Structure 1
Amino acid sequence: MNTTLQQSALYPGRVMHQRMRPARHRLAYRVFSLLIDLDELPELAQRLRFFSLNRFNLFSLHEADYGARKGKDGNGHNLRQRVDEQLTAAGLLAGGPIRLLSMPRILGYAFNPLSVYFCHLPDGELQAILYEVNNTFGERHSYLIEVDKDQRALSTQGVPIDQHCAKEFHVSPFLGLQMDYGFRVQAPHVDQPEMRLDITASDADGPMLFARLDAHRRVLNDAALLLAFFSHPLLTLKVVGAIHWEALRLWVKGVRLHVRPPAPTRSVTVTKAEES
């Protein structure tokens, strides 16, 4: 086995959503994600029996599932090149390690409400985080947020990163567009056993929705993949089912529906760090 393949990992964990108003509502479920160093993808696909790149397997990653939709700033390049192009377009440095946290396809099917790219500088410091959001209407949008320079080195020590941006993309019919997102991220690292991602969605009256992912780092190998498959059967189908079931429960509770606005004209919203 190639010992340089140490950045990619398996992250089993738990997702929790808590709505504070106008009706309190909570759900939680077990998940697992893969953290994939995009430079390791071809070798991972060769080494792992149950994981493939761009073709069917028990688990697979298809590059067409990520990045801009066709006709929305997309191109035919591989995923690594596409993220580098987004960094360059935002005035950031391309070429450093990029690690994607996402649920893979399972038996050919996947739906990721959120995939997260940790975009590093060549020296290893975390330069930016790209949050890629999919909604159930078949639309996709990304938020590229530069990491404050004072937080870059601290992130490798397990210190959480705080980021903010305005909401630009419709996700749930029970949430309006005039909101802000707050992210608090304990980034994954080869020397840190745990990672955590907190998201707070707030409107003019304060926090409305809080979501959290708590996950634990595991070695990515065939045995771990099989364990994940049998301990989380049909994971992505369960995620989609949970989204629609919880939507029905919110509707029964009388939570107001918002009209779906047009999708953003650009595929990526960029937020640069404030100069210190």
Structure 2
Amino acid sequence: MKNSSLYEGEVYHHRLHPVRHQFRYRLYLLYLDLSELDQVFANRWFWSARRAAPFRFDRNDYLEPHNLPLNKAVKQHVAAETGIELTGPIRLLTQVRHFGFAMNPVSFYYCFDEADEQLEVVLAEVTNTPWGEKHVYVLLRDPDSPSSWTRPQLKQFHVSPFMGMEQQYQWCIQLPTNELKLSIENYEEGTHLFSAGMKLQRLPITGWNLSKMLLRYPFLSGKVIAGIYWQALRLWWKMVPFHPHPQRTHQPD
């Protein structure tokens, strides 16, 4: 497994306005070269990409159309959105299913050039809770800064009922190495409202490291789901303004 790995570290959220609210927690994620899926999970009792297993990569949890292999679906999506024809490897930063539960607030597809030296595009596949809807943001690289870049983007998708839609994102992306960093900032009318990000350290995928992750984070999907609702309750208690889902508030005439 030349290119796939584990990443372990910390996720943080920091809300700055209208009230201050922050939290952080530890987790691990898989960084999967999509050409190595079968190799990564081969001969591992508790892991699989093909059969039922306690910890499973399920193709249907990711980018449509599901009848295509995931790498082809990514290439198709990028070509349709940007006109770019990807020719290099594609690597997915994600959390696989734990005991049948899938919980990925966001998965990232790192799309490299043919020489596997620079990022061409990063896709951020966002899932909202509890609606289970998905949206994909396409983040093009900065040719003047190939290993690290910042990209502004208008918010296009309802995620949190404690965040309005009239916002702009500022994505900060870095080339994954032994350390993986990425972050997003939310702005509204020039005011910095919110920051979130990850700081992770790379680990090789070995039987020992996979076992350590299972012992440290046996119910990670459930922890993420519970954390979302717990933080929502805390925001409600702090009387942060509530923003209903914009597509579910329309009343027929």
Q: What range describes the TM-score normalised by the shorter chain of this pair?
A: over 0.9
The C-alpha deviation readout for 1:214-271, integer Å capped at 9, x for no partner, is 10000012211110011112011001100001101101111111121129xxxxxxxx
AA aligned to 2:170 is G
For the residue of structure 2 that corresponds to 1:128, the secondary structure is: strand
SS at 2:173 equivalent: strand
Q: State yes or no: 1:163 paired with 2:155.
A: no
Q: CA offset at residue 58 of structure 1?
A: 2.9
The residue type equivalent to 2:229 in the other structure is: H
Q: Which residue number corresponds to residue 241 of structure 1?
A: 226
Match of 1:271 in 2: none
Q: CA deviation at 1:181?
A: 0.9
Q: Deviations over 1:64-118 (max 9, x none)?
A: 00113xxxxx351111110010122120122310000001111221200010000
Query: What is the alpha-carbon distance in structure 1 between the residues aligned to residue 162 and residue 180 of structure 2?
Result: 29
Q: Distance in 1 between matches of 2:247 and 2:213?
A: 37
CA, structure 1 residues 205+148, in 2 after alignment: closer, same or farther (shift >3 Å)? closer
Residue 47 of structure 1 and its aligned partner are, at CA, apart by 4.5
Q: Tell me the distance in 2 between the aligned counterparts of 1:54 and 1:110.
A: 16
Task: Work out the CA distance in 2 between the residues paired with 1:185 and 1:94.
Answer: 19
Q: Which residue number corresponds to residue 86 of structure 2?
A: 94
The worse-fitting range, judged by mean Cα deviation, of 51-60 and 13-22 is: 51-60
Q: 1:259 maps to what in 2?
A: 244
TM-fit CA distance, 1:56: 2.1
Does residue 104 of structure 2 align to residue 112 of structure 1? Answer: yes
The residue type equivalent to 2:132 in the other structure is G
For residues 158 and 120 of structure 2, what CA distance do their matches in structure 1 show? 27
Q: Aligned residue for 2:251?
A: none
Which one scores higher on RCO, CA 8 angstroms, separation ≥ 6? 1
Contact 1:14 1:30 in 2 (8 A): yes
- State the partner residue of 1:60: 56
Instruction: Indicate if the aligned counterparts of 1:18 and 1:25 stay in contact, CA closer than 8 A.
Output: yes
- Contact 2:109–2:123, Cα closer than 8 Å, also in 1: yes
Superposition deviation, residue 177 in structure 1: 0.7
Report what 1:272 is aligned to: none
Q: Could you tell which deviates more after superposition, 40-49 or 168-177?
A: 40-49
CA–CA distance in 2 between the matches of 1:147 and 1:255? Answer: 35
**What is the 5 A alignment of 1:69-80?**
74-80=65-71
Q: CA deviation at 1:11?
A: 0.4
CA distance, structure 2, for counterparts of residue 184 and residue 33 of structure 1: 19
Unaligned runs of 5+ residues in structure 2 are: 249-253
Q: Does 1:85 align with 2:76?
A: yes
Partner deviation per Cα, 1:175-222 (whole Å, 9 max, x = no partner) = 01111111112221xxx3211111101111411110020100000122
TM-score, normalized by length of structure 2? 0.93
State percent identity of aligned pairs.
35
What's the CA shift for 1:161?
2.0
Q: Could you list the per-position Cα deviations for residues 36-61 of structure 1 after superposition, in whole angstroms to 9, with x for gaps in the alignment?
A: 00011122222444321143223211
Residue in structure 2 matched with residue 267 of structure 1 by the alignment: none
Match of 1:138 in 2: 132
Is the contact made by 2:60 and 2:66 (CA closer than 8 Å) also made in structure 1? no
Number of the residue aligned with 2:171: 183
The TM-score, its normalising length taken from structure 1, stands at: 0.85
Q: Gapped runs of 5+ residues in structure 1?
A: 69-73, 264-276
**RMSD over equivalenced CA pairs, Å:** 1.4
Alignment of 1:155-234 (within 5 A): 155=147, 160-188=148-176, 192-234=177-219
